Structure 1
Amino acid sequence: MTTGRILNIPNILTIARIILIPVFLIIAYWPPALGVTDVQADITFRHALLTAIFILAAVTDWFDGFLARALNQTSAFGRFLDPVADKLMVAAALVVLVQWKPTITMAFAGIVIISREITVSALREWMAELGARTNVAVSTVGKYKTAFQMIAISVFLLNWQPLNILAYILLYMAVFLTLWSMIIYLRAAWPYLKQP
């Protein structure tokens, strides 16, 4: 049973997550304050703030789903907006990271992750039209992919040099899980895709 209300607590958290995206971008690109004598301290604070915002968004992603079930406040609007909010925040963070670290390793990871989200979203929409959306429901691999992705991006945003190698390891584990989960979804949809 669902409440059907749009402005319930879980949906407010989801909307807040979307509102955090422009805040995240403004902080990422805001020029150093005039008169700042310790530029490095300003940069360190900025990276810590960006990491905190991204982690807050990741936590509310889990929390809004938990509250929707616990408070019986699930809604069609929430089921639509929740995954959109997640993808928007991840895409925004990846675009920023690719600009900060313009290397083929970062660009490749960003392209794979964003492309997978577009592909799977389109696949789910198409499968829903066929009445078979449950065949491409979120898998366990997809959940692990999201966890590795969120942790990797958070470590990159922190921009602490000793964790740089760890960040790349986590990111490419997320890339591997991203491709694996996409293959799982495509295999589940293949019987429908090969129909004339």
Structure 2
Amino acid sequence: MLWTLPNILTVFRIALIPVLVLVYYLPFAWVNVAVTALFGLAAITDWFDGYFARKLGLVSPFGAFLDPVADKLIVAVVLVLLVQSNPAWWFVVPAAIIIGREIAVSALREWMAEIGERAQVAVSVIGKIKTTVQMIALLLLLFHDPLGPLPTRELGITLLYLAAILTLWSMMIYLKAAWPTLSGQQKS
């Protein structure tokens, strides 16, 4: 592995996961601020690793593999933490949709790459919008205390549902793009 700045940021994001989990369970009043800051740091490193990889010409196979893994890991872990703290069905459903989609799309991309069709399921604009909405939702839900008149928890739940809808939409885009290959109807 090449230790480039983008790869270091990606590995750092993965290393933040156990720290975030540990802090989440600490019995202090400031925990929500700390976990929100840690998750925010992870989200920022996600943006910067991609930016530096493209801007500095440091795109690598290792980074291309690990970056989406890091994103999915931290999002899944945060969703599991939040579901554990909010075990109501109306909270579990969007979390399950988001995690389920990530597994399904990752499997689809892996399979398409194996048969040389990875470009058919490249990241879409809707996927990027979904990621942004999802990250904001998770930041608000981790913080959960109102910020003045801003009801962060309620806004976070609303954005989580929007993220779940965008998640399904983006998954349908990927499945539609892959359908000729999946159904065996692709012309050779």
Q: Using the alignment, how far apart are the partners of 1:168 and 1:20 within structure 2?
A: 24
TM-score where L is the length of structure 1? 0.90
Give 1:165's aligned amino acid: E
Asked if 1:166 corresponds to 2:152, the answer is no
Q: Which residue of 2 aligns with 1:22?
A: 18
Asked if 1:189 corresponds to 2:178, the answer is yes
Q: Using the alignment, how far apart are the partners of 2:39 and 2:160 within structure 1?
A: 15
- List runs of 5+ in structure 2 lacking aligned partners: none
Q: CA deviation at 1:164?
A: 2.1
Cα offsets for 1:23-44 (capped at 9, x unmatched): 00000113x3xxxxxxxxx32x
Report the RMSD for the aligned CA atoms in angstroms. 1.1
Cα offsets for 1:119-178 (capped at 9, x unmatched): 001001111112111110000000000001000000000011422221111111000000
Cα offsets for 1:100-121 (capped at 9, x unmatched): 1111111111110011000001
- List runs of 5+ in structure 1 lacking aligned partners: 33-41
Q: Which runs of 4+ in 1 moved over 3 A?
A: none
Q: Using the alignment, how far apart are the partners of 1:69 and 1:141 within structure 2?
A: 20
Q: Percent identity over the alignment?
A: 54
8 Å contact kept, 1:6–1:78: no
Q: Using the alignment, how far apart are the partners of 2:152 and 2:100 within structure 1?
A: 26
Larger Rg: 1
| Equivalent residues in 2 for 1:88-103, closer than 5 Å | 88-103=73-88
Q: Using the alignment, how far apart are the partners of 1:144 and 1:71 within structure 2?
A: 24
Cα offsets for 1:76-123 (capped at 9, x unmatched): 000000000000000010000001111111111111001100000100
Asked if 1:56 corresponds to 2:52, the answer is no
| Equivalent residues in 2 for 1:115-126, closer than 5 Å | 115-126=100-111
